[in-house]
Copies of this chain bind each other. A is one copy, B any other.
Amino acid sequence: MPHLHLEYTANLPELNADVALMRLNNTLVGSGQFGAEFDIKSRAVKLETFRVGTALAERAFVHVKLAILSGRSEQIKKQLSESLLAVVRDLCEWPAGVEVQLCVEILDIDRESYSKTSVGH
């Protein structure tokens, strides 16, 4: 906990996913909401097959999902969401002539049934 998923469409060539994850993780550490930096587990997936709406215009999107253990207030979730969106907005030069939608979603992980261990420490 937390788990971050970054999805981005393949028509955003300037988006560097490694850099994006580092910046997003730094933002989560800076939020003060999470006990240890190594708890933050993030992954990025480039979407090769996608469609936005039904029109023929060229479109793209970036979607961040942050899953955190249940129990945090709506205010904290909203703050996390907005701070991640601010990072996403500055991730790269967005391509000219493409409508790019940027979204951040916060999900609860059911705390009671979440299990975790680690090896190799």
Q: How many copies, total?
A: 3
Say yes or no: A43 contacts B49, CB within 8 Å: yes
B7 touches A43 (CB 8 A): yes
The answer on a CB contact under 8 Å between A51 and B80 is no
Q: Is the CB of A37 within 8 A of B50?
A: no
Interface residues of A in 5-22 (CB under 8 A from B): 7, 9, 17-18, 21-22
A114 touches which of B9, B26, B53, B104 (Cβ 8 Å): B104
Residues of A within 8 A of B (CB): 1, 3, 7, 9, 17-18, 21-22, 25-26, 29, 36-47, 49-55, 57, 59, 61, 63, 67, 74, 77-78, 80-82, 84-85, 89, 94-110, 112-121
